[in-house]
Amino acid sequence: MSDRYALIGNPVAHSKSPWIHAEFARATGQELEYGLVEAPLDGFAATVERFRTGGGKGLNVTLPFKQEAFRLCTRVSERARQAQAVNTLVLETGFGDNTDGIGLVRDLSQNLDYPFRSVLLLGAGGAAQGVVGALLEAGATKVLIANRTVARAEEVAKRFPGTAACGYESLPTQAFDLIVNATSASLADEALPVAQSAFHKKTLAYDMAYGRETPFLAAAKRAGARTSDGLGMLVEQAAESFFVWRGVRPETRPVLAKLRGS
Q: How many of the chain's residues bind ligand ATR (CB under 6 A)? A: 15
Count of CA atoms in the C-beta half-sphere (13 A) of 189: 3
| CB neighbourhood size of 226 (10 A) | 16
Site string for ligand ATR, 116-155 (x = CB under 6 A): -------xxxxxx------------------xxx--x---
- How many Å separate Cα 28 from the centre of its chain? 24
Which position's Cβ is nearest ligand ATR? 125
Could you tell me which of 180, 41, 45, 52 has the C-alpha nearest to residue 121? 180
Contact between 9 and ligand ATR (CB under 6 A)? no
| CB closer to ligand ATR, 56 vs 126 | 126
Contact between 214 and ligand ATR (CB under 6 A)? no
Q: How far is the CB of 250 from ligand ATR (least distance, A)?
A: 26
List b or e across 84-101, with b for residues whose CB sees 16 or more CB atoms inside 10 angstroms. Answer: bbbbbbbbeeebbbbbbb
Contact between 35 and ligand ATR (CB under 6 A)? no
Q: Catalytic annotation on 221?
A: no
Catalytic choice (66, 142, 201, 202): 66
Name 201's Cβ contacts closer than 8 Å, sequence gap at least 6: 224, 225
CB–CB of 11/65 below 8 Å?
Answer: no
Q: How far is the CB of 259 from ligand ATR (least distance, A)?
A: 22
Task: Give me the residues that bind ligand ATR (CB under 6 A), please.
Answer: 123-128, 147-149, 152, 183-185, 190, 192
